[in-house]
């Protein structure tokens, strides 16, 4: 009953900052194979450098002996394991495996229902509701049982669900009109508006009591003539809140059963729809397996620096190795490998893919990677606003402009399509990374709360940030008054933070930089914008023709008295010139060898991973 009461109270109040422990205990780099196998196969995987496997959870709680049988071969080989899909039926009901149906059959059914009867609310009732206290309690009990049974074996983490979402992954759907969801929505609205009169003023409605409040759905929002989308945007915001709170409740249940245990979700999606508001979701778990669309790893770790990130591998070769290394540079601490038989033979001898992984895993378990994982990322004086309200409003305006039926857009469409702000954010990150500047990501709440001042930011980037609250606008004006520069593309703050169109942009009259980044020499253009803000990178990478080297990612970490630089080519091998502001001792951490004292270096970048340079300032 205590959990049930806590869950109901959580629906009414703001979310806790983090459900995760302050410093998850995650040892080294974990290389995990998803598919189960024989004892000989597991021994072969261990010899290749793999460290763990996946064990599917018994969600009924009636067959712990079956789970023990699946754990035994891994344990015998000296491999660890994690418990997979403990509550997929709750967190992923519209995208999960069925023996006799496609994984999306339930989502396909509600789309057909809406197509046949657009006004029928049944197409917008999530089953189960993320706000259903009975289901929240059911999940809590299940997780408590799993942790009690398997905690003594110290699994790496407890996976709440694979490819979870409000509906189907990143699909945009008007969930959830269930009674529990609407009750939670109305309680949450009271944290956003002083009273019902304030809500009516913002929404343009005339509700007399909170019990009468109902959201605007997408069909109606697309028909809005006055561009007041607040009743629609608030509901979409609420569903992101409901999703993150439900995930946080699962994590809290794991922690309650074992404070040292870790909880996670897998298959996380591009920032945007389906519950993937990382300003909230990142702090709801300890572990995420991420597909890293839309820079999700960088964004999630910005909002939860203790987050353990895993990535997924399906292939082999130079491009796959580069992707695995790149994920490590972004903060990944492990890999889940999908194996269809190429890693090892049934007798444990290496297969073609196993021979690819063996030297790669030796490096990922080695001294250079360990040094990198223990180092502190160097964040430059540039901040980028991650604005979920802008995501929503931009999405709606684009759907209204293209005229394509929104309900026909599936999760693949939504996950792979860049709205104007998604594209602008990604472009900004890519150009900054090419100049060796790691941006600070800020949320609307942290911006309004003074994050720029605390971080010593000099430049704030607003990538198509079309929706800004009054508090965000006030913080931006204070930032400019204190000498900060703001770069904005598009009409920043044309809508307020709830999605209601303003009479004029809220930053009107403020001196803003506007990006003019041509297709040719884009790095030079971004470097010029940084100089306008008083920012000069501490090193440059150039090609033989003297121009800045495009398509090379540059990241920096502090490691004791040294700086570690990672230089990663985006494709084919190439040679670039590194120039430092001051001479330093330079040493190649991957290849070894003696250090050289210089203010520059010709660097050969391989196609399959980064060059890692230790840079120690000269005396």
Q: With bands split at pLDDT 50, 70 and 90, how would you rate the model's confidence at 23?
A: very low
For residue 24, what pLDDT is reported? 59
Answer yes or no: is pLDDT of 2 > 80.
no
For 303-411, strand residue ranges (E) read: 308-313, 332-337, 376-377, 382-385
One domain, residues 401 and 321: no
Answer yes or no: is pLDDT of 539 > 80.
yes
CA distance readout (Å), 296 to 304, 318, 486, 547: 12, 23, 23, 30
CB 307 within 8 A of CB 2: no
Six-digit token string for 333: 């601490």
Q: Tell which residue, 319, 353, 261, 372, has the closest CA to residue 50.
A: 353
Residue ending a domain, choose from 532, 550, 585: 532
For residue 21, what pLDDT is reported? 43
CB 243 within 8 A of CB 281: yes
Q: What is the CA radius of gyration of the chain?
A: 25
Answer yes or no: is pLDDT of 19 > 60.
no
In terms of pLDDT, which residue wins out, 415 or 272? 272
Six-digit token string for 103: 């994984």
Answer yes or no: is pLDDT of 1 > 70.
no
Separation of CA 231 from chain center: 26
Q: Output phi, psi for 430, to 5 deg.
A: -65, -40
Q: Taking residues 23-48, report their average pLDDT.
A: 89
Q: Taking residues 454-463, report their average pLDDT.
A: 95
One domain, residues 240 and 389: no
Report the CATH number that the domain containing residue 252 is assigned in CATH: 3.20.20.80
Q: Tell which residue, 479, 466, 478, has the closest CA to residue 506.
A: 466
Tell me how far apart the alpha carbons of residues 552 and 471 are, in angstroms, rounded to a whole number.
Answer: 37
Answer yes or no: is pLDDT of 618 > 90.
no
For residue 165, the number of C-alpha atoms closer than 13 Å in the C-beta half-sphere is 27
Q: With bands split at pLDDT 50, 70 and 90, how would you rate the model's confidence at 22?
A: very low
One domain, residues 569 and 427: no
One domain, residues 337 and 411: no
Answer yes or no: is pLDDT of 27 > 50.
yes
For residue 480, what pLDDT is reported? 97
One domain, residues 312 and 397: no
For residue 403, what pLDDT is reported? 82
CA distance readout (Å), 400 to 219, 360, 394, 477, 582: 10, 48, 10, 32, 53
Task: List helix spans (H) across 403-509.
Answer: 411-416, 420-434, 444-448, 451-455, 470-481
Answer yes or no: is pLDDT of 64 > 90.
no
For residue 458, what pLDDT is reported? 96
For residue 280, what pLDDT is reported? 97
CB 130 within 8 A of CB 176: yes
DSSP 256: H
Q: Output phi, psi for 569, to 5 deg.
A: -75, 150
Tell me how far apart the alpha carbons of residues 525 and 52 are, in angstroms, rounded to a whole number.
Answer: 46
For residue 63, what pLDDT is reported? 63
Angle, helix 318-330 to helix 367-374, in steps of 10 degrees: 30
Tell me how far apart the alpha carbons of residues 290 and 288 are, in angstroms, rounded to a whole number.
Answer: 6
Q: State pLDDT tens for residues 281-313.
A: 999 999 999 988 889 999 999 999 999 999 999
Report the CATH number that the domain containing residue 547 is assigned in CATH: 2.60.40.1180
For residue 72, what pLDDT is reported? 87
Separation of CA 181 from chain center: 25
Tell me how far apart the alpha carbons of residues 429 and 10 are, in angstroms, rounded to a whole number.
Answer: 34
Q: Taking residues 37-51, report their average pLDDT.
A: 94
CB 269 within 8 A of CB 5: no
Q: State pLDDT tens for residues 373-424.
A: 999 999 989 999 999 999 999 999 999 998 888 988 888 888 776 788 888 9
* Percent with pLDDT over 70 in the chain: 94
One domain, residues 396 and 365: no
Answer yes or no: is pLDDT of 576 > 60.
yes
Residue ending a domain, choose from 508, 532, 556: 532
For 93-238, strand residue ranges (E) read: 158-162
Six-digit token string for 471: 């508090």
In terms of pLDDT, which residue wins out, 22 or 169? 169
One domain, residues 308 and 417: no
Q: With bands split at pLDDT 50, 70 and 90, how would you rate the model's confidence at 519?
A: low
3-state class (DSSP) for residue 310: strand
Least confident interval from 232-241, 344-353, 515-524? 515-524
Q: Tell which residue, 550, 532, 531, has the closest CA to residue 541.
A: 550
Q: With bands split at pLDDT 50, 70 and 90, how would you rate the model's confidence at 62?
A: low
Domain that holds residue 566: 539-617
In terms of pLDDT, which residue wins out, 150 or 188? 188
Separation of CA 260 from chain center: 23
CB burial class (10 A; 0-12, 13-18, 19+) of residue 413?
A: middle
Q: Taking residues 34-58, report their average pLDDT.
A: 93
One domain, residues 554 and 518: no
For residue 496, what pLDDT is reported? 98
Q: Taking residues 155-182, report their average pLDDT.
A: 96
For residue 4, what pLDDT is reported? 39
Q: State pLDDT tens for residues 215-249.
A: 999 999 999 999 999 999 999 999 999 999 999 99
One domain, residues 362 and 418: no
For residue 258, what pLDDT is reported? 96
Answer yes or no: is pLDDT of 506 > 90.
yes
CB-CB neighbours of 515 under 10 Å = 17
For residue 68, what pLDDT is reported? 76
Omega before residue 128 within 30° of 0, cis: yes
Tell me how far apart the alpha carbons of residues 271 and 388 are, in angstroms, rounded to a whole number.
Answer: 9
Element (H, E) at 82: strand 80-84
Residue ending a domain, choose from 481, 507, 532: 532
CB 413 within 8 A of CB 354: no
One domain, residues 415 and 446: yes
For residue 61, what pLDDT is reported? 58
Tell me how far apart the alpha carbons of residues 619 and 161 are, in angstroms, rounded to a whole number.
Answer: 53
Least confident interval from 86-95, 409-418, 445-454, 487-496? 409-418
Mean pLDDT computed over every residue of the chain: 91
CB 363 within 8 A of CB 592: no
Tell me how far apart the alpha carbons of residues 290 and 90 are, in angstroms, rounded to a whole number.
Answer: 20
CB-CB neighbours of 255 under 10 Å = 19
Answer yes or no: is pLDDT of 10 > 80.
no
DSSP 123: G
Q: Tell which residue, 330, 317, 549, has the closest CA to residue 438.
A: 330
Q: Taking residues 468-493, report their average pLDDT.
A: 96
Q: Tell which residue, 118, 117, 139, has the closest CA to residue 128.
A: 139
Q: Taking residues 461-485, report their average pLDDT.
A: 97
* Percent with pLDDT over 90 in the chain: 79
Number of domains comprising the chain:
3
Answer yes or no: is pLDDT of 15 > 80.
no
One domain, residues 276 and 198: yes
Q: With bands split at pLDDT 50, 70 and 90, how would you rate the model's confidence at 483?
A: very high
Q: Taking residues 549-558, report their average pLDDT.
A: 94
One domain, residues 367 and 387: no
Tell me how far apart the alpha carbons of residues 444 and 593 are, in angstroms, rounded to a whole number.
Answer: 47
């Amino acid at each position: 009953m205590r959990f049930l009461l806590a869950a109901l109270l959580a629906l009414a109040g703001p979310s806790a900052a983090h459900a995760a422990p302050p410093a998850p205990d995650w040892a080294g780099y974990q290389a995990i194979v998803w598919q189960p196998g024989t004892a000989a196969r597991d021994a072969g995987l261990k010899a290749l450098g793999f460290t763990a496997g996946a064990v599917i959870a018994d969600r009924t709680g009636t067959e712990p002996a079956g789970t023990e049988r699946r754990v035994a071969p891994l344990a015998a080989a000296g491999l660890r394991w994690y418990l997979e899909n403990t509550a997929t039926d709750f967190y992923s009901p519209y995208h999960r495996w069925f023996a006799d149906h496609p994984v999306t059959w339930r989502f396909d059914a509600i789309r057909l229902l809406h197509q046949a009867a657009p006004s029928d609310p049944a197409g917008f009732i999530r089953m189960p509701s993320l706000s259903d206290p009975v289901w929240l309690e059911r999940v809590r009990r299940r997780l408590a049982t799993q942790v009690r049974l398997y905690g003594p074996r110290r699994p790496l983490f407890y996976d709440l669900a694979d490819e979870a979402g409000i509906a189907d992954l990143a699909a945009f759907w008007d969930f959830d009109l269930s009674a529990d969801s609407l009750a939670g929505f109305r309680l949450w609205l009271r944290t956003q508006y002083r009273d019902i009169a304030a809500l009516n003023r913002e929404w343009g409605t005339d509700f007399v009591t909170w019990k009468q409040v109902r959201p605007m759905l997408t069909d109606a929002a697309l028909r809005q003539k006055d561009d007041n989308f607040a009743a629609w945007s608030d509901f979409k915001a609420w569903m992101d809140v409901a999703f993150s709170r439900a995930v946080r409740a699962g994590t809290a249940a794991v922690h309650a059963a074992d404070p040292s245990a870790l909880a996670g979700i897998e298959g996380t999606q591009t920032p945007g729809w389906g519950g993937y508001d990382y300003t909230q979701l990142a702090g709801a778990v300890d572990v995420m397996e991420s597909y890293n669309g839309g820079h999700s790893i960088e964004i999630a770790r910005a909002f939860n620096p203790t987050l353990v990130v895993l990535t997924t591998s399906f292939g082999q070769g130079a491009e796959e190795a580069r992707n695995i290394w790149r994920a490590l540079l972004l903060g990944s601490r492990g890999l889940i490998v999908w194996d269809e038989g190429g890693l090892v033979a049934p007798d444990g001898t290496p297969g073609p893919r196993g021979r690819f992984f063996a030297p790669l895993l030796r490096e990922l378990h080695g001294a250079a990677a360990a040094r990198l994982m223990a180092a502190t990322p160097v964040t430059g004086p540039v901040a980028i606003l991650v604005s979920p309200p802008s995501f929503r409003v931009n999405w709606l305006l684009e759907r209204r402009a293209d005229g394509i039926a929104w309900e026909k857009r599936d999760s693949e469409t939504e996950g792979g399509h860049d709205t104007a702000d998604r594209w602008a954010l990604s472009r900004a990150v890519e150009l900054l990374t090419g100049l060796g500047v790691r941006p600070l990501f800020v949320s609307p709440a942290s911006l309004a709360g003074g994050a720029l001042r605390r971080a010593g930011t000099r430049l704030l980037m607003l990538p198509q940030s079309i929706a800004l609250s009054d508090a965000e606008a006030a913080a931006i004006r204070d930032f400019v008054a204190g000498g900060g520069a703001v770069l904005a593309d598009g009409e920043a703050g044309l809508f307020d933070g709830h999605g209601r169109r303003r009479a004029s942009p809220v930053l009107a009259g403020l001196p803003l930089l506007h990006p003019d980044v041509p297709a040719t020499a884009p790095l030079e253009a971004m470097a010029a914008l940084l100089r306008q803000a008083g920012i000069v990178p501490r090193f440059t990478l150039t090609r033989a023709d003297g121009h800045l080297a495009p398509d090379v990612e540059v990241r920096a970490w502090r490691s004791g008295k040294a700086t570690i630089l990672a230089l990663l080519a985006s494709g084919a091998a190439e040679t670039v010139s590194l120039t430092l502001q001051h001479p330093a001792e330079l040493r190649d951490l991957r290849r070894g060898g003696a250090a050289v004292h210089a203010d520059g270096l010709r660097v050969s970048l391989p196609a399959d991973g980064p060059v890692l340079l230790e840079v120690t300032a000269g005396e």
